[in-house]
Every structure is written in structure tokens, then in C-alpha cells.
Structure 1
Amino acid sequence: METALLAPSDRPLSDPIPGEAWPTWPQHTADDVAAVASVLESNEWGGAFAPAVVSFEAAWAKYVDARHAISCSNGTVSLSIALQALGVGHGDEVIVPAYTFYATATAVLTAQAIPVFADVDPATLNLDPRHVEKLITPRTRAVIVVHFAGLAVDLDEIQRICRQHGVSLIEDAAHAHGAEWRGRKVGTYGAFGSWSFQSSKNVTAGEGGALTTNDPALAARASSLRNCGRVPEGAWYEHHLLGGNHRMTAFQAALLLGAVERLPEQFERREVNARTLDVELSSMPGLVPQARDSRHTAHAHHLYVFRVEPSDSAISRDELIQRLQARGIPATGGYPIALYRQPIFAEYRFSKEAVGWHNAKERQNYHDLRLAGTERICREAVWLPHSLLLAEPRRMSEVVEAVAESLGEAG
């Protein structure tokens, strides 16, 4: 899941106040340069079993504590591979959150299945299990959860619902590198965990993706699907499944190996700085940081998110964002509309026949759909990028002061 770009309406009213620059992203080291050069000189630049690719898969599986990691070209195709490996297809329904990047739902269309949008909890910005359970029908084959901003969904409830109804769970962990639920890393609770290593992500090679699973049969199937349908024991020109060339390059894998090594230190820095912001911002009228409880034992903080509740705040969300940007704080409003309002869904710019939309009256009416929690978040959320949380802890006071000054000016 990708982060939102700065929308034209969110641009600063004036040039930002000059000051110390915030950390940039992506970051790299001399070791990364050497690792990429080593791949270049090896002449083993690609292939599912290039040494760098195999090494990265082993490192990522170890970090996540999964039995298998299968690399691929990006975090969009990883979702498509997961659905295909699970046998999701024509006419099936897959429940997805309404507040997420486009790919979480379009991967379902690519599988010739039907996305069913569930509401999210404004407190956590994560899928609301109560709504998920109401949406399950005999056609439901899977639920895709998104650990939004790096905060794990309520996996206790989601797992219970999936088990009770016999549907597969896929974790879209594009924001959640290193996040934990009850001391166990996400991406290991469902049939698959799906990962993105796109430029904005906390672990990045510019592009790239992966799946994690503890099921050897699913791992083998996913590996074949990303490698033109080949199987390890088969010949090069022997294809068993309708797979494609969705392989990661060795250059990407080399960069990712370094990123995984740096992740624990960066993760801890983000957690410490985010905790500071939680305490300070929650004391200001109308500001509500993303909620977490004791079961959220580690938050990846791909984004730092808080909401501006209009009934209690002296300033609107959009005005606060503009004032923060003018002070050099890289704030945005995130997704301005619910995913079901995107033209591809609201205007049905896909083939209903291809996805098995046999009786539209039994499906969600995307055009008229309104989910209260999702619509509220689109109006109230403020996003800060994870790179800001890599600054020295002392600099969080600059964020706090900028917010306090903006509220004071409005008051």
C-alpha cells in the first residue's frame, strides 16, 4: 500500500520557515553501494534463485519469523499472487478495508473476484471486525486486512471470524515492517503476509515485494506463480501453473539486505519519537493520536497519524495542515476520499462479467456506498511521514511547538 502524495489543496500557503532539515528517505550507506557493485560484477543480476535473492528471502523470513518468504517484483503483485495461490477467482468475494491504497482492492479485481468494502474504526484506522462479520456471505473466500500506518489490526477478532466462517486471511503488511501483535510479528497470522518495498516504505529498494507464509504448499505455489509457473524439480522450459515473470532483481535484493540490517535501530527510533508525540498531542484539544492498546507490542509507524476532531478543535484539519507545512513540518491529509469513491469503483470501470458480478443487487452498490468511519477519517486524519520520526528525539519538540502555535493562532 502506497502513501499519498501531497495534494494540490494541501500545499503550503507560503514557503516553509527555514530551519534544520528533516531526515530524507530513502537512505543508503557505503555498504549498500558495495553490495550493488558486487551483484553487478557477479553477472547474476536476476532470476528467482540468484544468490542475493535467496539471501534476502532467508533474511526476511528470519526477521519476520516465518517459515517461508517469497520475493517478487512489488507489493501489488504479491497480493495478486496470494489470491491466486489461494484459488480465489471468478465470482468470489474478498472483504477489503475502504481506507487503503488502491492496490489492496484492485488486486481482487485482477483475480476476477469482487472487492467488498468494509468500514474502518476511526480510533485505529484499521478494519472494523464487527463490520467484516456482517459482510460475510457464502461467496466470501478471503479477508484482506491492512495494518494501517504500521499498527496491527485486531488479529484476535479477525482470526476468529475467518476461522468460524472458513475464509482465508491475507495480511497486507505494506506499512508494517516489524510490527507486532501480542509479541509476534505481523505477516505470520494469515495464510499470507504481503509486503511492499516501494520507495516510501520503511524497508525499500525503490520497488519490490514479498509474501511470507508458514504453509509449505502455499509457499511452493506462490514461488511458482511469480516464476512463470516453473517448479524447482522441473526443467527450465517446463511450466506447471499460469504464472508470470514477477521476480525481484538481485540489485533490489542486495539493497534490501542492508535495509533489513538497519531496520531494528530505525524501528526503535520511530517508536520512541512516536510515543513522545502521542503524549504531547493527546493533551491538546481536539487532537487524537492513533489508538493502540497493550496487544500492540510494536508499531512500525510507516506513518504517524492523528485526527483533528472538529467538535473539539479550534482549527480545521486542512488549516492545521497548511500551518504545519508553512512551518516546515511535512504534514498531509492522506487519502482525501474513500477507496470506493475512486472512479474505477464508483463508475464501475471494470468488467462486471469478468469478475462474476452475476446479480448486482446482492453486491455492494459502490456508487452509493457511504461508510461512516472511513468518511470521517478522510475528513480528520493528519499524516506525518516515517522519515520525520528518524530525527533526533529532541526535534519532536519542534513538531509539538508547531502544532501548539498553529492551534494558538486559530484560537
Structure 2
Amino acid sequence: MIGRARPAPELPAWPQYSDEERGGLIRALEQGQWWRMGGSEVDAFEREFAAYHGAGYALAVTNGTHALELALQVLGVGPGSEVIVPAFTFISSSQAAQRLGAVAVPVDIDPGTYCIGVTAAAAAVTPRTRAIMPVHMAGQVCDMDALAKLSADAGVPLIQDAAHAHGAQWQGKKLGELGSVAAFSFQNGKLMTAGEGGAVTFPDAELYELGFLRHSCGRPRTDRRYLHQTSGSNFRLNEFSAAVLRAQLGRLAGQIDTREERWPVLAGALADIPGVVPQGRDDRCDRNPHYMAMFRLPGFSEERRNAFVDALVDRGLPAFAAFRAIYRSNGFWETGAPDETVDEIAKRCPNTEAISADGVWLHHRTLLGTEEQMHQVAAIVAETLAEL
């Protein structure tokens, strides 16, 4: 075990809460109706979340995976369809499509931003492609200009996987202003959280209304005769979670401001360490909420990277190994996998292969620390590398 040459800084805890969350929970409790069809917290949160993201409409749901699944279903994804997804992402991006009976088609990523490669996505479009799912990795918004052109040229809609990107902006536009559906997560580690939860933002009323039906078992709001108009499931968020999320949304902007100030400090200090390459940034993403502080250790094997992450954790840093390539998990192959082998997909995804082996990330609470703590974190990274 590597010695504790330098103690880890006492970084801010996560989740964060205050009397705002407590008050919201009491408010939800005392209204006497604890589900969305009788209460007011979910409705209020949806309005506030949509406004914050510049979207026409928002629909709160049970979790981020369900948000993706619902968004895909609303756009007509189902058996016989294909959905293009980045090979480097959390596996919910692909499983949401696969659970609808569609085939998930992994494509490679940009080696600097870790976001979906537009050229790779374009090459994967077929007559069966029903959606393209860019993932805003760690808060870095994908190249939405090029993706919008690809979407228009191919006649295939985009679904933004924005699980990491609450409050992000692309050339001054919020994610809800980019003209496509976006799905968000409120899982415990996310930028705002109620333990679990999710949301889908929609650009127009028609898609929103279809989403509402399908997230409520196909049942209209005013139905009293069990006349279910579509298929669907129960993805309704409860009133208590919505009350907590309203408070979380209220402090999101300030937290993003802090992380935007701290990331250049940490990234600069990490870049000064030989062999460490921080995640790049496309400057057109002019507001990055920094869900993760990501960096690479080019040339590391997966085993050596894992040992490095374990050593950082042992020293008290909230460190994690980067996502495994989705096609290298057994769950990817259970249903809805493309007619390719692992080796065939890996051959066309060299950037994914590399970062899956040598990528590291620190939880975003790291970036809520002080400027001095950013230098302390980088020093621990340097010492750990030197001793590994």
C-alpha cells in the first residue's frame, strides 16, 4: 500500500442540502397528496426545470435511464430500429434503446472531449437508424452544430443524453434551446439529486403530451374510465423527490460557477504532471457544469490504471475508473446488440479502447473545493503516480 505522504484535503460532501430541502419535504408532506396527479411539487419542478434549460416543456420521471427510454419511445424507437450511441458512456445510453427492442450501434468518440465522434456517427447511419444519441460527457457539450447538420441531412432525430450536463450551454444556448429532446438524471451522484429521478425536456407540446401519456401508463390526466390511449409504464416522479429537486435546482447555478472557476486551476496543475492529460474542452461549450474532473494516463494498461485509482481512493480522493466500453460488458450483448463481434467493434473504436483503459475521473464535489485544494489534489495525483 502506498504511504500517506500527503493527506487528502477535506473536500465538500455530496449530496448537499439545507433547510430548503427540509422545507420542501415538509411542504410535500403537508399538502396531503404525495403523487404527481394530486400534488403540486412535480408540476412546479417541471416548470422551473424547463425554464432553467430554455425548453418548452419538461417531464419529471423516475430516473435517468427511464428518461432515455421514454425519450426514445416518444420518437418512435422500437423493434427493427437502430440507435447510434457513443461506445464510451454509461451503459444506460445503450440499454434504454435495447429494452425497447432496438439495436444499439456503438461508435467511437473524439479523443480530446470524449464526446461522440460526428464522422463516426455519420458512417453508422443506415435506413434503420431512428435516433442518434450524443452524450455530453462530464458536462462537455457535444459538437451540436455538426450533429444538427447530420440529423437534418440524414432525417434522423437527436436525443441528447444530458445526464452529466444540467445547466450546460452551447454557444450561449441552453440545452433546451437546441431543438432536440434531452434526458437528464438526478441519481445520487449527479449535479443535482433526489437520490434517484430524471427528466426529459421537449421542444414542443406534441412530444411532451405523448411523453406524458407514456410515462403514466398511457392514461390521460383527466381520465376517470381507465381509457389508456397508448402503451407505456409508470415512470411518474413522486412529490417528495420533486420538492427536493426544486431546492437542488436553486443552488445549481452557483455550484456551476464554482466548478467553472476551479476546473482550469485543477486541469492546469494536472497538465503539468508528466503523463497526465486532462479532458479537453470545445470552447463553443461556453458553460460546462463539470460533472466529472476527467483525465487520461496514456500508455497505462487497464490493470495499472485500476491500481492507480485504488491508490487515490486509499489516500482519500473520490476517484473512479473511466467507463468501460459498452460493448465490453456482458449486459450489452443480452439483447439488441449489433451483428458484430467485440473485436470488430473495438477495431473501429480505438479512442474508446484507449480511454476505457487509461481514463480516470474525480467526482464533481472535488471542484467545489478551494483553489488551494485543487493544487493539493494535483499533488496527490503526482505523488501517487511517482510511487505506483
TM-score interval for Structure 1 and Structure 2 normalised by the shorter chain: over 0.9
The CA deviation at 1:46 is 0.5
Please point out which of 291, 298, 312 is paired with 1:324: 312
Q: 1:189 and 1:16 mapped to 2: Cα distance?
A: 48
Are residues 1:303 and 2:292 paired? yes
Give runs of aligned pairs for residues 221-236 of structure 1, distance below 5 A: 221-232=210-221, 234-235=223-224
The CA deviation string for residues 272-297 of structure 1, in whole angstroms up to 9 with x for no partner, is 11111122222222211111132010
Q: 2:17 and 2:310 mapped to 1: Cα distance?
A: 31
Give runs of aligned pairs for residues 210-229 of structure 1, distance below 5 A: 210-229=199-218
Are residues 1:383 and 2:361 paired? yes
Please point out which of 372, 377, 384 is paired with 1:399: 377
Please point out which of 48, 58, 68 is paired with 1:59: 48
Query: What residue in structure 2 maps to residue 373 of structure 1?
Result: 351
The CA deviation at 1:111 is 1.4
Please tell me the residue identity of whatever aligns with 1:349.
E
- Give the conservation status (yes or no) of the 8 Å contact 1:191–1:215: no
Q: 2:252 and 2:225 mapped to 1: Cα distance?
A: 36
SS of the counterpart of 1:142?
strand
Identity %: 37
Query: What residue in structure 2 maps to residue 145 of structure 1?
Result: 134
- Give the conservation status (yes or no) of the 8 Å contact 2:131–2:156: yes
The CA deviation at 1:344 is 2.4
Are residues 1:82 and 2:71 paired? yes
1:97–1:48 Cα change, 3 Å: farther
- Give the conservation status (yes or no) of the 8 Å contact 1:16–1:325: no
Please point out which of 341, 346, 359 is paired with 2:328: 341
The CA deviation at 1:19 is 5.2
SS of the counterpart of 1:168?
coil
Q: 1:181 and 1:18 mapped to 2: Cα distance?
A: 38
- Give the conservation status (yes or no) of the 8 Å contact 2:54–2:175: no
- Give the conservation status (yes or no) of the 8 Å contact 2:28–2:34: yes
Q: 1:190 and 1:139 mapped to 2: Cα distance?
A: 22
Q: 2:225 and 2:194 mapped to 1: Cα distance?
A: 28
Please tell me the residue identity of whatever aligns with 1:364.
E
The CA deviation string for residues 299-348 of structure 1, in whole angstroms up to 9 with x for no partner, is 1111000111229x9xx54454344334322222222x311111123xx3
- Give the conservation status (yes or no) of the 8 Å contact 2:140–2:282: no
Give runs of aligned pairs for residues 99-118 of structure 1, distance below 5 A: 99-118=88-107
Q: 1:230 and 1:279 mapped to 2: Cα distance?
A: 53
Q: 1:244 and 1:408 mapped to 2: Cα distance?
A: 52
The CA deviation string for residues 330-368 of structure 1, in whole angstroms up to 9 with x for no partner, is 222222x311111123xx323xxxx6x8xx7xx433464
- Give the conservation status (yes or no) of the 8 Å contact 1:119–1:128: yes
- Give the conservation status (yes or no) of the 8 Å contact 2:260–2:289: yes
SS of the counterpart of 1:369?
helix
Are residues 1:283 and 2:259 paired? no
The CA deviation at 1:198 is 0.7
Q: 2:386 and 2:228 mapped to 1: Cα distance?
A: 65
Please tell me the residue identity of whatever aligns with 1:404.
A
Query: What residue in structure 2 maps to residue 3 of structure 1?
Result: none
Structure 2: stretches of 5+ with no match in the other structure:
none
Q: 1:219 and 1:285 mapped to 2: Cα distance?
A: 49
Please point out which of 147, 169, 176 is paired with 1:180: 169
The CA deviation string for residues 158-206 of structure 1, in whole angstroms up to 9 with x for no partner, is 1111110000100010011111111112244253100110111011001
The CA deviation at 1:72 is 0.8
Q: TM-score, normalised on structure 2?
A: 0.93
Query: What residue in structure 2 maps to residue 5 of structure 1?
Result: none
Query: What residue in structure 2 maps to residue 364 of structure 1?
Result: 340
Query: What residue in structure 1 maps to residue 159 of structure 2?
Result: 170
Q: 2:73 and 2:3 mapped to 1: Cα distance?
A: 49
Are residues 1:274 and 2:293 paired? no
- Give the conservation status (yes or no) of the 8 Å contact 2:305–2:358: yes
The CA deviation at 1:140 is 0.6
Q: 1:195 and 1:41 mapped to 2: Cα distance?
A: 28
Give runs of aligned pairs for residues 19-30 of structure 1, distance below 5 A: 20-30=9-19
Q: 1:20 and 1:205 mapped to 2: Cα distance?
A: 26
1:39–1:49 Cα change, 3 Å: same
The CA deviation at 1:18 is 4.7
1:16–1:390 Cα change, 3 Å: farther
Are residues 1:208 and 2:193 paired? no
Larger deviation: 177-186 or 248-257?
A: 177-186
Q: 2:174 and 2:126 mapped to 1: Cα distance?
A: 30
Q: TM-score, normalised on structure 1?
A: 0.88
Please tell me the residue identity of whatever aligns with 2:46.
E
Query: What residue in structure 1 maps to residue 121 of structure 2?
Result: 132
SS of the counterpart of 1:115?
strand
